[in-house]
Amino acid sequence: MSTAARLALYGVALLAVFGVMFVAGRALIPDSTVADWTKEAKSDDHESMGGSEDGHESMGSGSVTENVRGLSMEQDGYTLSPVESPVKAGEPGELSFRVLDPEGRPFTDFSESHEKELHLIIVRSDGAEFRHVHPRLDRATGTWSVSWSWPTGGSYRVFADFVPATEDAPNVTLTRNVEVAGEFTPIDPEISRRDSVDGFEAALTGNLAAGRSEALAIEITRDGKPVEELQPYLGAFGHLVALREGDLAYLHVHPEGAHAEPGDLSGPEISFMAEAPTPGRYLLYLDFKVDGEVHTAEFVLEAR
């Protein structure tokens, strides 16, 4: 048999095998399943390109990127450098980072916002271990740093919140994740309007709404009595940070009323206006100051 004849016979045999496999596959896999696979593949291709049905970039929760902050290490040309910190829980050390300008150079020209040039918010990915601190800036190198020790292991989100000292500059919130070695027990936050912290009771009234500003009020009591000695903290009687559960999209709101001056006292209620970018569950953290000490109360609300 010639070489050409052998190749032709081999090709016929292959076609026969593939034909049997195709028929068997069609018998085992219904047409509806094949159609579902095709639909899912098209959907995956669309989402992998950052698209959604309304033309906005997909963020995994159906939200629109311009309505949320704190989801990227870059905003308006500013970039958050990698964060240096202790690698293990309980290990003392220093946490440091730099903000880079649109040309990639260390940025040092910050406006004072709420009495600080930069606010550093750090929270574990499940909403636990919230901290709001103020690192110091080495203007020679552009490096921000603060003494630091991680309380537990896990994945943490680091937010750098600031306003550049330029005309009509927007508020900028940059973020990075930090992985920390060590044991931790994840939490599952439940809806909560009350919290006890350091002998104080904090009770929240009002609701969050998606796309609409709503009033929130938090009353502080101690031993069942209203606390009327709330002191100014960073120019206000309270600071409220809200993070969307899951992706930790960032909101930073402040109380209603005039700037709080040193020596002023207020209480027992702190009022806020807040707007959630999308429906979902939000983790709220209130910083308030009494007798020279800052305390943090935590709440969980559902925005509809």
Name the average pLDDT for the chain.
82
∠ CA 253-255-258, rounded to 5° = 125
Residue 30 burial (C-beta neighbours within 10 Å; 0-12, 13-18, 19+):
exposed
- Residue 17: pLDDT band with limits 50, 70, 90: very low
Most confidently predicted of 32-41, 49-58, 131-140, 234-243:
131-140
Buried b (16+ CB within 10 A) or exposed e, 33-55: eeeeeeeeeeeeeeeeeeeeeee
- The mean per-residue pLDDT over the stretch 51-69 comes to 38
> From CA 22, how far away is CA 17, in angstroms rounded?
9
CA distance 73 to 79: 6
Token pair of 143, please? Answer: 């490096």
State the DSSP string of 203-228: EEEE--BBTB-EEEEEEEEETTEE--
DSSP state of 186: -
Angstrom distance (rounded) from CA 266 to CA 280: 32
Domain 194-303 adopts which CATH fold? Answer: Immunoglobulin-like (2.60.40)
Look at 49-58, 88-97, 291-300 and tell me which has the smallest mean pLDDT: 49-58
Q: Are 289 and 233 in contact (CB under 8 A)?
A: yes
Query: Which fold would CATH assign to domain 66-180?
Result: Immunoglobulin-like (2.60.40)
Q: Which amino acid is present at 131?
A: R
Point out the least confidently predicted range of 9-13, 156-160, 280-284.
9-13
**What are 197's two structure tokens?**
């912290």
Residue with tokens 């929270």: 123
Residue type (1 letter), 88:
K
User: What secondary structure letter does DSSP report for 73?
Assistant: S
Tokens of 34: 């094949």
pLDDT at 49 over 60: no
Q: What is the DSSP letter of 65?
A: G
Who wins on pLDDT, 170 or 33? Answer: 170
Which residue ranges does the chain devote to CATH 2.60.40.3340? 194-303
Torsion angle defined by CA atoms of residues 158, 210, 287 and 217, in that order, rounded to the nearest 10 degrees: 180
pLDDT of residue 24 exceeding 90, the answer is no
CA distance 66 to 193: 29
| CB-based contact 188:283 (threshold 8 Å) | no
Examine the pLDDT at 298 and tell me if it is beyond 60: yes
Sign for the CA dihedral angle at 122, 124, 126, 129 comes to negative
Mean pLDDT of 188-217: 95
Is residue 161 classed exposed, middle or buried when 0-12, 13-18 and 19+ CB atoms within 10 A define those classes? buried
Task: Locate CATH 2.60.40.10 in the chain.
Answer: 66-180
Closest to 120 measured CA to CA, from 74, 177, 166, 175: 175
Spatial separation of the C-alpha atoms in residues 144 and 96, rounded to whole Å: 5
**CB-based contacts of 54, cutoff 8 Å, min separation 6:** none
